Amino acid sequence: MRTFVIGDIHGGLRALEALLASIKPGEEDLLIFLGDYVDGWSQAAETVDYLIALKNRIPCRLLRGNHDALCLQWLTEGTAHPLWLQSGGQATRESYEGVETHIRNEHIRFFESLENYYLDEANRLFLHAGFTNLKGVTHEYFSQNFYWDRTLWETALALDPGLQTDDSRYPSRLRQYREIYLGHTPVTRLGYSEPHRAANIWNMDTGAGFRGALSAMEITTKKIWQSQPVFEYYPGERGRN
């Protein structure tokens, strides 16, 4: 069995289809999606449809991103915060125009079913953003941190590369897990075009919502697959730019 972890999609279904066509996952494989399925490109509703169908064919773990939580709030309450609209929500709202009520309800159930994190048998943690409790995710007080926190990634970036895990200064949060995989903060902001590692954290967000590619990694071999830059699949669109 192969295990693939996939970064933030942001409504870029064409990029996701191209990525999976190159990976060719089978029924014995596992796909772990790190969240942010919507808000950016014009196929938000279609992306959710695709993922609902995909999980019926191939084992998937679907994690919750902050944009997924915002989209669910809009679908259930009609709340469209101006900052959400400016951060890709407008494209999502437009993609749902004409979508029938029973499909919307199915999507609501999809968003409600998303997991805050996944911890595998090898003590590898997968989540969208981070956590703050020094003892790990099972002790986290505020579940919103799983899909909003940026301090975990910032902590890993700030570490002295020579600091050993047995050093008293080494962050307790990072000691809890063999590896951590997350998205949420594009590594393209640091000048990287592929998933980037800091300490024991792999950041899989390669800016698919902006000008970057959508990325996947097989977690045992660390082999990386990428789509073309997602904007190339959506000429004339701005994405989250």
User: Using the 8-state DSSP alphabet, how is residue 119 labeled?
Assistant: E
| Rounded Cα distance, 35 and 148, in Å | 11
3-class DSSP state of 15: helix
Does some domain include residue 240?
A: no
Q: What is the pLDDT of residues 43-72, one digit of tens each?
A: 999 999 999 999 999 999 999 999 999 999
Range of the domain at 94: 3-160+177-233
How many domains is the chain partitioned into structurally?
1
Q: Is residue 238 part of a domain?
A: no
Please tell me the distance from the alpha carbon of residue 5 to that of residue 26, in angstroms, as a whole number. Answer: 14
Could you tell me the CATH number of the domain that includes residue 217? 3.60.21.10
- Rounded to an integer, the average pLDDT of 210-231 is 98
What order of strands is seen across the sheet that includes strand 196-198? Answer: 117-119, 124-127, 179-182, 201-203, 196-198
Q: Which of 158, 169, 222 lies closest to 195, judged by CA? A: 222
pLDDT digits (tens, 9 = 90+) for 131-158: 999 999 999 999 999 999 999 999 999 9
* 107 belongs to a structural domain: yes
pLDDT tens-digit series, residues 72-117: 999 999 988 898 999 999 999 999 999 999 999 999 999 999 999 9
Residue 106 within any structural domain of the chain:
yes
The model's pTM is: 0.97
Element (DSSP H or E) covering residue 95: helix 90-95
